[in-house]
Amino acid sequence: ITVTWLTFVADYVVNLILVDRRWTWFRRHLFDLAVIVLPALRPLRLLRLVTLVRALQGLAGAVFRGRIVAYVAATTVLLVFVASLAILDTERSAPGALITTFGEALWWAFVTITTVGYGDLYPVTSTGRFIAAAVMIGGIALIGVVTATLASWIVENVARRDVASQAATRREVAELADEIRKLRHELTRMDEANVRKDSEAR
pLDDT tens for 115-148 read 787 778 888 888 889 888 888 888 888 878 777 7
Nearest to 112 by CA among 136, 134, 87, 89: 136
State the sign of the Cα–Cα–Cα–Cα dihedral 112, 94, 89, 28: positive
Q: How far apart are CA 90 and CA 109, in angstroms?
A: 13
Reduced 3-state DSSP string for 28-41: HCHHHHHHHHCHHH
Q: How confident is the model at residue 66 (pLDDT cuts 50, 70, 90)?
A: low
> Phi first, then psi: what are they for 190, rounded to 5°?
-65, -40
Of the two residues 36 and 60, the one the predictor is more confident about is 36
CA distance 54 to 71: 7
pLDDT > 70: percent of the chain? 80
Question: What's the mean per-residue pLDDT of the chain?
Answer: 77
140 Cβ contact list (under 8 Å, min separation 6) = 115
**What pLDDT shows up at residue 58?**
46
Compute φ and ψ for 121, nearest 5 degrees.
-130, 135
Over residues 136-161, the mean pLDDT reads: 77
Q: What pLDDT score does 78 carry? A: 85
Tell me the average pLDDT across 52-75: 60
pLDDT of residue 60: 43
Q: How far is CA 51 from CA 58, 75, 133, in A?
A: 13, 11, 24
Q: pLDDT tens for residues 1-59?
A: 677 777 778 888 888 888 888 888 888 877 777 767 766 555 555 555 554 555 554 44
